[in-house]
Amino acid sequence: MAITKTNFINFTRCPRYASLEEIKKDRLDADVSYQEYKKQELQENINELVTSMYEINEESQEETDLVDKIDCQMEAMLPYYKIVEQEAGRISESIFGGKSIYAEKTKDQECFDFSLHGIKYICYVDIYNENEQGINIIEVKATTSKKYMELKSGHKKGDKFSIWHRIHNINYLKGELPSYPLEDEMPLDSYEKQRNKFFDRYRLGQYVYDLAIQRYFIEHEHMSTHTEEKIAHYHYYLAVLNADYIFDGTYEEGKPVYHTDEFGNELITFFDFTKITEEYQTYVEMDSKKLELYLDQLDASSCPLSDACGYKKKSGCKFFGPICGKKIPLKNSSLSYIHNGFGFVKEDGTRIKGLDLINEGYYNLMDIPEAWITKKSHQIQRDCYSFDQEYIDKEKIKIGLKQLQYPIYHLDFETMPCPVPRFRGEWPYIQSPFEFSLHIEREAGICDKDQDNIVFLAKTHEDEREEMIKLMLKYMDPDRGTLFAQNVSFEKGRIKEMAKIFPQYKTDLMKLYDRGFDLLWLVNTNSKMYMDLGFDEERAKTFNFYDKRLSGSFSIKKTLPVFSNLSYDKLIVKNGTEAIVEYANYYKMSKEEYNLKYQALVTYCKQDTWAMVEILNALRKLVK
């Protein structure tokens, strides 16, 4: 088994990964087929794609477990990932000129390999471009430019500026442009602070580290073949989706055509990481030494948990859940304390947080010493767990309920967070609605599950958004009532986007937007609202209800069983992830399967809004 780039990343996470994979030393210098390599890389690419989808998806707030869904998601999302690859190849040719080799043009992608100390290393390049200026190595990632472009700094009390400067669709770090007046915009040390974030391989630097490994493989091939003089001619880029790109809706022969948009943006943009990947080589070399050691020792004994585990991340280690993190209780662990990113302060004044709590043996909620509990909300959680009791602030809930205006529009959208925009006015990873369910509660507690429900579900993959808007506005009066949802910011976000794309409906849609109210403001809290209603700051910040069954989360997945017997277990479509997959797979279904899954999608979304009706009724009864 050759060590691919993906192997390199995973095997250097920690000392035990290689052993858990049961790597056989006698196969480390074996060849790996192109098909095997691509299958391995595809899995990682799909993980990247899914991660990007859920970075902005409200489902992540519900801690949806996607591990068992990867196969069906891979199948459903693969066509869109291929479009990302195709467009990256097409646009790179226009940007860099010269000659390019990439997957869609030939299966013979440029390959680099070398052997060292009995181990064979191999990588294929997404896009290999050679022009008059040199050789460009371009790694395609199904993420967006947003997190990179958000790196900004400036002088005190002055404007903030990006650390990037875009020239002909290539983003360059301003500090690496010889004539750029960087210090006019920001102090040099603050620029370096932002730039240094790329050297954290488990956070912002994840994809840059990936590219740096590729550079390591390429340079070592040249060293092994005594062609070191070529190394200086290489440049290294990431190709990602341009978060600023707006699709104009052009289709030819049933396929989208991604022209340059009206603002001059391409679907794909490029980031020059040549200098940073050069600086990364020292770290990669150190990791290669670790890799050799881990493969030699094959030590499966436990080691401390860390950022390398990727806890609760799609790119996390596959062994964390079943093996390394198994000691973490599924419910009411020491990590279940609400809003506890900064952790706890010990008696000696040091701070402990996150997985270090697990490393030091603090597994359960009650393992945390009483002396460390300084927040009222944390004390409430402990009391509810210790005494098996509920915490209820009836006064806050009652006053919160009084803020609701009737009719209440219980609204839930199902959306397709597609990496490439599908319809006019969309951009990469927009949460494009394809379904909504609406339960209308005209008076307190007066709502019939069937008669007071309206569901819209797109019948095809054609653009049916305007039909959706018209149906919403037919049943939702923009001038009265309350737009009600759990995590209402998600529903409001979709409404605001539709108002932007369909300006003829903007006035009414934005009236609905302004009437948003979150179910969580009644169960959890909304500190600003309750302070405006006369509560002191501490009480306003403290949640209104808590039960140990919530285990530190106010997601619908946790709150529903506390307030209702309603269950998703017997539904064909059980969660938002499955809803995306079924909608994405419309075109693959027989007529019989389509009819079955279409109704299953209707039933699932309908249950989401009915769940809110039931929880709201339960809260009313709770405070009577």
Q: Which residue has the tokens 């009411």?
A: 332
Q: How confident is the model at residue 58 (pLDDT cuts 50, 70, 90)?
A: very low
Tokens of 195: 């730039």
Nearest residue to 309 (alpha-carbon basis) of 353, 352, 344, 355: 355
Average pLDDT, integer, range 133-144: 96
Strands in 419-515 per DSSP E: 431-441, 453-457, 482-485
Check whether 65 has a pLDDT greater than 60: no
Nearest residue to 48 (alpha-carbon basis) of 277, 218, 239: 239
List pLDDT tens digits, range 356-392. 999 999 999 999 999 999 999 999 999 999 999 999 9
pLDDT of residue 556: 85
Residue 91 · residue 110 · CB < 8 Å: no
Pairing of strands 453-457, 545-546: unpaired
List pLDDT tens digits, range 468-513. 999 999 999 999 999 999 999 999 999 999 999 999 999 999 999 9
Nearest residue to 5 (alpha-carbon basis) of 226, 266, 326, 291: 291
Residue 114 · residue 97 · CB < 8 Å: no
Distance CA 301, CA 281 (A): 29
Neighbouring residues of 466: CB distance < 8 A, sequence distance ≥ 6: 502
CA terminus-to-terminus distance, the chain: 67
Helices (H), 298-435: 355-359, 376-387, 394-402
Tokens of 159: 């404007």
pLDDT of residue 109: 82
- DSSP one-letter string for 257-294: -----TTS--SEEEEE-HHHHHHHHHHHHHHHHHHHHH
Q: Which amino acid is at 159?
A: D
DSSP three-state, residue 480: coil
pLDDT of residue 54: 44
Nearest residue to 88 (alpha-carbon basis) of 158, 140, 10, 34: 140
DSSP state of 300: -
Cα 615 → chain centroid = 28
Pairing of strands 234-241, 134-144: parallel
> Please, where in the chain does CATH 3.30.420 lie?
394-622
Residue 491 · residue 412 · CB < 8 Å: yes
Distance CA 310, CA 313 (A): 5
Average pLDDT, integer, range 401-419: 97
List pLDDT tens digits, range 315-349. 789 999 999 999 999 999 999 999 999 999 999 99
Distance CA 505, CA 516 (A): 17
DSSP state of 204: T
CA angle 584, 34, 9 (to 5 degrees): 80
DSSP state of 230: G
Class of the CATH-defined domain 394-622: alpha beta
Distance CA 212, CA 104 (A): 24
The whole-chain average pLDDT of the chain stands at 92
Find the radius of gyration of the CA atoms of the chain: 27
Distance CA 345, CA 328 (A): 21
Q: How confident is the model at residue 238 (pLDDT cuts 50, 70, 90)?
A: very high
Neighbours of 580 (CB within 10 A): 25
Q: What does the buried/exposed string (b/e) look like for 600-617 if buried means 16 or more CB atoms within 10 Å of the residue's CB?
A: bbbebbbbbbbbbbbbbb
List pLDDT tens digits, range 164-207. 999 999 999 999 999 999 999 999 999 999 999 999 999 999 99
Q: Which residue has the tokens 């200026």?
A: 133
